[in-house]
């Protein structure tokens, strides 16, 4: 008996072809059809992969981790570049001027938060334990690091190091423990928390977490969209009017009432993505976003570089640009260039540890200012560029390391508890 190998199955032998030529012709025809079908299916699969949209409400979006990474890198580099001496070198002068774009990184954080939180709330709106689960999950993410950082800066470091750099926030610590630092700043019309001034943005986020779940629960998506648009318009107008009064000069930058429009921009993007699912609707959103983004982004960058208030118009235009960019990303193809950039492992790494980096960077700058570190960095070097950039990237590395330790030693253990809610 002749054995037949796997490669011979379904193949016509030469002897069979000589005896039955029509069999060979039929076999070749069938093979051609099979190969054509296989190639067609492969092309369709490839086209399907190319057309697959970035945003899927039922899956974790890796690209948004990358967006978070972009936000924290711009904010962190801006903070550390503020320490540079522009008179020491034209290069440092240019770097410091360019880094001011990072001062608006918090707007990107707000827009992204509005997008993600609104999406979560819309998705879980009809689920049991809607309020409890959301609040507990947010608390597990935010509270451990926030309150640990407060305890460290207000109690532990002053006691162990004998430092007085945290005396200012210690005198106002009741507002920090209760997430009211931005309210205190607005009332005093001053940045009155020293190395913890940046906690104003965490207060804004917390106020949003407390109010927005009830708003989403009570309104239909259409009504929620109308309210979000009204917030964008109304807050922009009220803030512009308030900016004309000197006694409101800090409030327009930090008070939740005056900064919630950035979160509303993110909410608008989320509502659109969760309610307009048809391919033609998504395509329409993408077209509008792609057309609007260059114009809005140009205006936003220009206003940022000019550093002028312009009736706080940048507080409206920059979040608008961030929301447009976010929509361009999430409506784009999964294999598109922008998606691949945002899926970068480096950006996603920084995105994972962005919360810790944001919390620790300003206290770290206070403890290790450039003036103190310059003697170490400049040892054997006379270049101010080397000293300045060494400080910036050294502090970036140190900030990242502390955030990594915080996440792995503490935060991730609390995050693991979220599966129960």
Task: Find all residues with CB under 8 Å of 321, minimum gap 6, and list them.
Answer: 293, 296, 297, 299, 300
Supply angle C-alpha 225, 251, 323, rounded to 5: 35
- Identify the pLDDT of residue 335: 86
* Model pLDDT for residues 222-260, shown as the tens digit of each residue: 999 999 999 999 999 999 999 999 999 999 999 999 999
Tell me the percentage of the chain whose pLDDT exceeds 90: 73
Average pLDDT of the segment spanning 14-35: 43
Q: How far apart are CA 184 and CA 257, in angstroms?
A: 14
Task: Find all residues with CB under 8 Å of 157, minimum gap 6, and list them.
Answer: 163, 166, 367
State the sign of the Cα–Cα–Cα–Cα dihedral 393, 395, 398, 404. Answer: negative
Query: pTM for this structure?
Result: 0.86
- Identify the pLDDT of residue 377: 59
Average pLDDT of the segment spanning 180-201: 97
At 118, list the tokens.
Answer: 């609104």
Average pLDDT of the segment spanning 135-141: 97
Q: How far apart are CA 358 and CA 353, in angstroms?
A: 9
Q: Pick the residue with more confidence: 99 or 29?
A: 99
SS3 state of residue 369: coil
At 214, list the tokens.
Answer: 């009830």
Supply angle C-alpha 96, 400, 412, rounded to 5: 145
* Model pLDDT for residues 55-71, shown as the tens digit of each residue: 888 888 999 999 999 99
Q: How far apart are CA 108 and CA 322, in angstroms?
A: 6
- Identify the pLDDT of residue 45: 39
Average pLDDT of the segment spanning 374-401: 81
* DSSP E strand boundaries for 218-274: none
Specify whether the CB–CB gap between 175 and 184 falls below 8 A: yes
Domain boundaries, the chain: 55-420
Q: How far apart are CA 235 and CA 110, in angstroms?
A: 15
Q: How far apart are CA 161 and CA 127, in angstroms?
A: 49
Is 90 exceeded by the pLDDT of residue 397?
Answer: yes
Which residues lie across from 333 on neighbouring strands?
53
Is 90 exceeded by the pLDDT of residue 338?
Answer: yes
Specify whether the CB–CB gap between 390 and 380 falls below 8 A: no
Q: What is the separation of C-alpha 84 from the centre of its chain, rounded to a whole number of angstroms?
A: 26
Average pLDDT of the segment spanning 2-9: 39
């Amino acid at each position: 008996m002749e054995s037949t190998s796997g490669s011979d199955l379904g193949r016509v032998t030469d002897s069979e072809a000589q005896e039955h030529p029509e069999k060979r012709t039929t076999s070749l025809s069938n093979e051609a059809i099979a190969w054509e079908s296989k190639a067609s299916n492969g092309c369709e699969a490839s086209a399907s992969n190319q057309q697959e949209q970035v945003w899927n409400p039922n899956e974790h979006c890796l690209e948004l981790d990358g967006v978070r990474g972009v936000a924290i890198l711009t904010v962190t580099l801006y903070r550390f570049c503020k320490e540079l001496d522009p008179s020491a070198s034209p290069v440092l002068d240019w770097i410091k001027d360019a880094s001011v774009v990072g001062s608006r990184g918090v707007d990107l954080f707000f827009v992204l938060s509005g997008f993600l939180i609104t999406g979560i709330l819309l998705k879980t709106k009809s689920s049991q334990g809607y309020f409890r689960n959301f609040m507990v999950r947010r608390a597990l993410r935010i509270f451990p690091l926030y309150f640990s950082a407060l305890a460290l800066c207000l109690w532990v470091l002053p006691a162990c190091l004998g430092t007085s750099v945290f005396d200012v926030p210690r005198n106002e610590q009741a507002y920090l423990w209760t997430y009211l630092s931005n309210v205190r700043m607005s009332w005093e019309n001053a940045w009155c928390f020293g190395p913890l001034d940046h906690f104003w943005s965490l207060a804004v986020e917390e106020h949003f977490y407390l109010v927005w779940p009830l708003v989403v629960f009570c309104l239909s998506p259409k009504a929620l969209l109308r309210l979000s648009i009204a917030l964008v318009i109304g807050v922009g107008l009220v803030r512009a009017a308030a900016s004309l009064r000197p006694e409101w000069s800090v409030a327009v930058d930090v008070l939740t009432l005056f900064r919630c429009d950035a979160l509303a921009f993110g909410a608008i993007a989320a509502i659109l993505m969760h309610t307009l699912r048809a391919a033609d609707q998504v395509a329409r959103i993408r077209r509008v976003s792609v057309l609007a983004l260059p114009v809005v982004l140009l205006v936003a960058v220009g206003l940022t570089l000019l550093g002028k208030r312009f009736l706080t118009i940048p507080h409206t235009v920059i979040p608008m640009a961030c929301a447009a960019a976010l929509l361009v990303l999430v409506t784009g193809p999964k294999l598109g260039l922008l998606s691949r950039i945002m899926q970068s492992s480096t950006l996603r790494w920084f995105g994972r540890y962005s919360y810790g980096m944001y919390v620790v960077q300003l206290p770290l700058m206070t403890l290790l200012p450039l003036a103190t570190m310059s003697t170490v960095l400049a040892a054997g070097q006379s270049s101010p560029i080397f000293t300045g950039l060494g400080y910036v990237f050294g502090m970036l590395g140190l900030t990242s390391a502390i955030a990594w330790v915080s996440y792995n030693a503490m935060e991730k253990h609390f995050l693991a508890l979220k599966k129960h809610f």
